[in-house]
């Protein structure tokens, strides 16, 4: 075998929005490729560089480094209108994107977006509060083999044939089953997508082939996860999940890489907790402190602008995330948001029917009745931006003792070392724990 490049997978270890984009951007300097392998534009990854805020939905966060190859793998579902729009934002600045899009990635259509909203509303309490981006219907069509892939979009004959089928199937469901009005014109949508195909064609290729060849040439690859572990279709809080696998194993199916090629798996953990959408959330604080965390942490969805539900780190959930993903280390983000709190609760177990549960229950009916058992850890003072940047320069030893105790408590409880600590939105605001 040739020399092999190294790989790392960046995974959201909670309910999404942990700061994956920021950590991906920070670490990307050491990698030649940054690859998205699941999800779609339900993701919203915010990266702040030199005061400029970048909100990315489909393009991997490595796009902020002009020389890097950025890749959208087969496991991603692509809304071409959104992708082209995102590409334009960079092209406007004179950038030529070094982008590869998998020919096997499935395409999202407007009728899937309409259905997403109709189905989630129809489900009532069992809905997930989706982002309404057509993600679920697109993955359903992929699974029942009526989906349309990028390669199909590029071939006019195949596209026409498959589009006719998908269009009838979906518009029938919309109008007959979900009783929605649908004034989409078949010919107009088809022509619109033929236009997208012309724009995207130069970027479409064989992702698995290129990535494996690149590894063989010693190139380093970073895989950027979207969503979070608890939103995983199989291992998350089903049915309040997304429609893809969000855990590390998904890299193999979503990019065409063998499991033996994965070297590191970094779990990104917010120093507290947030969640957008429906479903039980044991450590949620619906009172004043939850509001405080939301405002201080600017916890409003990057994609939908919805207020995020906020609460405390949940070690039952986090240990579960470590088990399912096999994290080699953790990155703790937004620790600065906790500055100034006298004490910080952290859930160490769940009280349920007079006993204590230590493993995350599969039955959400049980989760709903669980009350967290909290350990109160000591907080630290409210630091000025200047003091925080002095800490960044001073590294781990310069952190306050109680912050180090909080971090050590998480590392001990999860039996996973912490490799990175993020203390602010900016790219540089990270401490590497050596
Ligand atoms: P992602 O979906 O996991 O990439 O996370 P989002 O971008 O949706 O949400 C994380 C938010 O927190 C973004 O606005 C980031 O800019 C911000 N952020 C990331 N790390 C830090 C940090 O250490 N401190 C603060 N204050 N903000 C951070
Ligand atoms: P990033 O990558 C947080 C949530 C939605 C909803 C459920 C299903 O920014 O962390 P979907 O539209 O995927 O069918 O919605 O999943 N959700 C996210 N929550 N961050 C995300 O992405 C999310 N992507 C989907 O709120 O509850
Ligand atoms: Mg996000």
List the chain pLDDT tens, one digit each, 434 residues. Answer: 557 999 999 999 999 999 999 999 999 999 999 999 999 999 999 999 999 999 999 999 999 999 899 999 999 999 999 999 999 999 998 888 999 999 999 999 999 999 999 999 999 999 999 999 999 999 999 999 999 999 999 999 999 999 999 999 999 999 999 999 999 999 999 999 999 999 999 999 999 999 999 999 999 999 999 999 999 999 999 999 999 999 999 999 999 999 999 999 999 999 999 999 889 999 999 999 999 999 999 999 888 889 999 999 999 999 999 999 999 999 999 999 999 999 999 999 999 999 999 999 999 999 999 999 999 999 999 999 999 999 999 999 999 999 999 999 999 999 999 999 999 999 999 999 98
Rg of the Cα trace of the chain?
Answer: 22
Options 25, 32, 45, 240, the catalytic residue: 45
Q: How far is CA 191 from CA 50, 56, 73, 135, 366, in A?
A: 40, 27, 25, 22, 50
Position in ligand 2 atom list of the atom nearest CA 135? 14
CATH of domain 106-200: 1.10.300.10
Give yes or no for a cis peptide into 4 (omega within 30° of 0).
no
Write out the two tokens for 290: 């939850």
Query: For ligand 1, is residue 422 a contact (CB within 6 Å)?
Result: yes
The torsion angle over the Cα atoms of residues 344, 348, 352 and 357, rounded to 10 degrees, is 170
Beta bridge partners of 347: 314, 374
CATH of domain 7-102+203-264: 3.40.440.10
Query: For ligand 1, is residue 19 a contact (CB within 6 Å)?
Result: yes
Closest CA to 350 of 336, 367, 334: 367
Clarify whether 17 is annotated catalytic: yes
Ion ligand 3 contact residues with beta carbon within 5 A: 17, 44, 302
Clarify whether 45 is annotated catalytic: yes
Which residues form ligand 2's pocket by a CB distance below 6 Å? 12, 16-17, 42-45, 128-131, 133, 135-136, 226-228, 231, 240, 242-243, 276-277, 302
- CA dist 195 and 181 (Å) reads 26
Task: Map out the domains of the chain as residue ranges.
Answer: 7-102+203-264, 106-200, 270-325+335-415
Domain 270-325+335-415: give its CATH architecture. Alpha-Beta Complex (3.90)
Q: Token pair 């966060």 is at which residue?
A: 61
């Amino acid at each position: 075998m040739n020399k092999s490049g190294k790989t790392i997978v960046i995974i959201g270890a909670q309910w999404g929005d942990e700061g994956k984009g920021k950590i991906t951007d920070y670490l990307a300097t050491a990698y030649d490729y940054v690859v998205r392998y699941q999800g779609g534009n339900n993701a919203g990854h915010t990266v702040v560089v030199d005061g400029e805020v970048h909100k990315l939905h489909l393009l991997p966060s490595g796009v902020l480094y002009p020389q890097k190859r950025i890749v959208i793998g087969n496991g991603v579902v692509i809304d071409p209108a959104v992708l082209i729009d995102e590409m334009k934002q960079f092209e406007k600045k004179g950038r030529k994107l070094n982008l590869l899009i998998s020919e096997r990635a499935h395409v999202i259509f407007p009728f899937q977006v309409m259905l997403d909203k109709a189905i989630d509303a129809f489900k009532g309490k069992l809905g997930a509060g989706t982002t309404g981006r057509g993600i679920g219907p697109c993955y359903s069509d992929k699974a029942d083999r009526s989906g349309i892939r990028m390669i199909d979009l590029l071939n006019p004959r195949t596209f026409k044939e498959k589009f006719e089928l998908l269009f009838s199937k979906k518009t029938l469901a919309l109008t007959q089953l979900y009783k929605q009005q649908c004034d989409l014109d078949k010919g107009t949508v088809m022509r619109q997508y033929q236009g997208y195909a012309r724009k995207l064609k130069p970027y479409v290729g064989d992702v698995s082939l290129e990535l494996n060849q690149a590894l063989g040439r010693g190139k380093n690859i970073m895989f950027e996860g979207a969503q979070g572990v608890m939103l995983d279709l199989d291992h998350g809080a089903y049915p309040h999940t997304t429609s893809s696998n969000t855990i590390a194993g998904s890299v193999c199916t979503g990019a065409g890489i063998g499991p033996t090629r994965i070297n590191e798996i970094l779990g990104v953990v917010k120093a507290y907790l947030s969640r957008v959408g429906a479903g039980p959330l044991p450590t949620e604080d619906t009172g004043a402190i939850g509001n405080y965390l939301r405002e201080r942490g600017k916890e409003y969805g990057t994609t939908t602008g919805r207020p995020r539900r906020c609460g405390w780190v949940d070690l039952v959930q986090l240990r579960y995330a470590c088990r399912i993903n096999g994290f080699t280390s953790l990155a703790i983000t937004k620790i600065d948001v906790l500055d100034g709190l006298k004490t910080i609760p952290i859930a160490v177990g769940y009280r349920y029917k007079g006993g204590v549960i230590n493993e995350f229950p599969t039955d959400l009916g049980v989760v709903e009745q669980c009350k967290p058992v909290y350990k109160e850890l000591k907080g630290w003072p409210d630091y000025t931006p200047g003091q925080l940047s002095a800490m960044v320069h001073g590294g781990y030893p310069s952190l306050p003792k109680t912050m180090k105790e909080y971090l050590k408590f998480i590392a001990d409880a999860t039996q996973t070392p912490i490799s990175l600590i993020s203390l602010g939105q900016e790219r540089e605001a990270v401490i590497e724990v050596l």
